[in-house]
Amino acid sequence: MSTSFHPLTFWSIFTALAVGVVLSDSAISAFLALGGAAWIVYRFRGDGPWRNSFKWSLIAGLYLIAIRALAGIVIGVPRLGDTLFTLPRIQLPSWMPGIRIGGPVTWERLSFSLHEGLIIATVIALFGAANSVTSPRKLLRVMPSRIYQLAVTLTIATSVFPQLISSITRIRQAQYLRSGRRPRVSQVAIPLLEESLGRAVALAESMEAKGFGLSKVQSRYRPITYSSRDLIYIVAGFIFSGAMVAL
């Protein structure tokens, strides 16, 4: 089903949601937005190499919350409130005023850190969700023709990533099987570099042989158009986002 949507539809919905979450700055709206995003991804996810971006961005978000919380506990400005526990405090030189490492950890300080981490993680997850439902390449296809050539160049640059990941896995496995040890970075990097260069040259040759770049103007195959369904979804997304800010 996802193919019949305009690529900009989901991107604008998720952008609206992200703006809504940041402006409303509340954990409830963040969870609501994540829930909405999860539903959309579940329902309209494509089958390309990007389909799992939402999952990965969620995992990245969890790490981010953890790091933010940890930083909030250890470093920071003192905040008054109920002290949960006290960490040993490290004395900093006098020319670093206002920064503290260690000391009492209050409930307010912890919840503030978690809250901030959650908001940032939500924004990241929303963009991950947008990638899951519409591949960035599709988005590039609807860019105005003036930047179409730039868009194609970007498309090619992005096409390298899924292949790069599978090549890395393949090379690592081969080396691991040979020596029984995890290979060092250089061991993987050199065969990888060789392969990527080969691929890049092959791709450039293929584009040149097909006449890419010869004509200043390019036509579009099956130009993508808006439908009323796109409009309904976008309006719904904006209302949802507006409601979050208003409440």
Partner 1 sequence: MIKFSRVSLIYPHSTTTVIEDLSFEISEGEMVLVMGHTGSGKSSLLRLVNGLVPHHTGGILAGEIIVDGRSTRTSKPGELAGIVGIVGQNPIATFVTDTVEEELAFGLEALNFPNDVMRKRVEEALDQVGLAPLRNRDIATLSGGEQQRLAIAAALVMHPKVLVLDEPTSALDPVASEEILAILHRLVHDLSVTVILAEHRLERVIGYVDRILLIEGDGSSAIGTPSEILKKSDLVPPIVRLTRALDLEEVGTSTRDVRRITEKLRSDLPESERPSHIAGRALVSAKDICLSYGEKEALKEVSIELRASEITALMGRNGAGKSSLIKALVGLMEPKSGYINIDGVNLMQIKQSERSQRIGYIPQEPGDLLYLTSVNDECSRADKDNALPKGATFELLHEMLPSISGNSHPRDLSEGERLTLVLALVLSGAPDILILDEPTRGLDYSAKNRLMALLHNRACEEGTTILIATHDVEIVAEVADRTIFLADGEKVADGSTLDVLLASPAFAPQVAKVMSPRRWLTVSDVLRSQELSE
**Which residues in this chain contact partner 1 in the complex, by CB under 8 A?**
3, 47-49, 135, 137-138, 141, 152, 155-156, 159, 162-163, 170-171, 173-181, 186-191, 194-195, 198-199, 202-215, 217-223
Least separation in angstroms between residue 53's CB and partner 1 is 15
The dihedral formed by the CA atoms of 6, 10, 12 and 15, expressed in degrees to the nearest 10: -160
Q: Are strands 101-106 and 83-90 parallel, antiparallel or unpaired?
A: antiparallel
| Spatial CB neighbours of 236, under 8 Å, sequence gap ≥ 6 | 13
Between 114 and 164, CB nearer to partner 1? 164
CA distance 133 to 128: 9
Between 98 and 223, CB nearer to partner 1? 223
Least separation in angstroms between residue 12's CB and partner 1 is 21
189: its two tokens: 């990097």
Between 118 and 139, CB nearer to partner 1? 139
5: its two tokens: 């949507």
Least separation in angstroms between residue 151's CB and partner 1 is 12
CA distance 24 to 112: 15
Q: Are 222 and 2 in contact (CB under 8 A)?
A: no
Least separation in angstroms between residue 27's CB and partner 1 is 33
Least separation in angstroms between residue 126's CB and partner 1 is 23
Between 77 and 217, CB nearer to partner 1? 217
Describe the crossing of helices 148-179 and 185-209 by its angle, rounded to 10 degrees.
140
118: its two tokens: 């959650």
Between 109 and 141, CB nearer to partner 1? 141
Which residues on adjacent β-strands are paired with residue 85? 105
Least separation in angstroms between residue 223's CB and partner 1 is 8
Q: Are 158 and 137 in contact (CB under 8 A)?
A: yes
Q: Go through the chain and tell me how many residues it has.
A: 247
Between 153 and 227, CB nearer to partner 1? 153
